[in-house]
Amino acid sequence: MKFFRGMRMMEITIDARIADAAPGLVLGCARAGVRTEPGGDALWAEMREAAREAAADPAEPAARPAIAATRELYRRLGKDPSRYRGSPEALLRRSRAGKELYRIHNVVDVINLVSLRTLLPIGLYDAAKVRPPVILRRGAPGEAYDGIGKEQLNLDGLPVLADAGGPFGSPTSDSRRTMVTGDTRQVVAVVFGVTGRAELEPAMEMLASLLRRHRAANDVETWFAGI
């Protein structure tokens, strides 16, 4: 599933240390033109339903395959997954606690919807703020960035996406440096396929379909990295 009609595909590679820690890891990448605006009622209804369905599953969050795979990757890189959770686990635990989901804008809301349905971590970035080439690597001692909605995130031991300006994304939280705002016109989304390509492909199809359906994006192009 590759579409390259008008936008330039961004080169993303996976460092050997990450590949050794998660041999089946594949990155699903999407690039799209967007216009951010408040998400509509239909999108919000889908998000709430996805949250209810995810919370109704009696299995503990850490036992669900995608979350378990993310936690295992963190452990193998030396990060405590109980202190630094992947974003889908945080969303799931929020839903299980009966707390309302955050409503940000149409693009972020679609990302959260796909993450709830698949439990795969997804990073979302303003394409104009990313300086390729991009690599997924282990965060080094002393590295940190200001996370979205968070204080500084200690990146040591986390799998991080880094460009020429340094780390900007991780399965736990993305950086403010590359965050999507009302001025963003093109985004790059990265789905961390911790359970392999077989489950990643339908997740990418879902992402592209929902972005178009909720008028969050157009000209969606997708590709895979790390294979």
pLDDT digits (tens, 9 = 90+) for 9-33: 788 999 999 999 999 999 999 999 9
pLDDT beyond 60 at 44: yes
Task: Go through the domains of the chain in sequence order and give each one's CATH number.
Answer: 12-225 (3.50.40.10)
With a threshold of 0.75, does the pTM exceed it?
yes
**Residue 227 clears pLDDT 90, i.e. is over it:** no
Residue 41's pLDDT band (boundaries 50, 70, 90)?
very high
Which residue matches tokens 């590359």? 178
pLDDT tens by residue, 195-212: 999 999 999 999 999 999
Band (pLDDT 50/70/90 cuts) for residue 8 is low
For residue 202, the model assigns a pLDDT of 98
Eight-state DSSP code of residue 152? E
Res. 5 pLDDT band, cuts 50 70 90: very low
Report whether pLDDT(7) > 50. no
Mean pLDDT of 63-79: 98
Average pLDDT of 140-157? 94
Contact (CB, 8 A) for 54 and 95: yes
Query: Interior CA angle at 78 toward 179 and 160, to 5°?
Result: 20
**% of the chain with per-residue pLDDT over 70:** 96
**How many Å apart are CA 219 and CA 118, to the nearest integer?**
23
Instruction: Round to whole Å and give the CA distance between 43 and 89.
Output: 21
Q: What dihedral do alpha carbons 185, 161, 30, 81 form, nearest 10°?
A: -120
What are the tokens at 85?
């959770």
The 3-state DSSP class for residue 161 equals strand
- pLDDT 10s digits, 150-163: 789 999 999 999 99
Residue 58 · residue 224 · CB < 8 Å: no
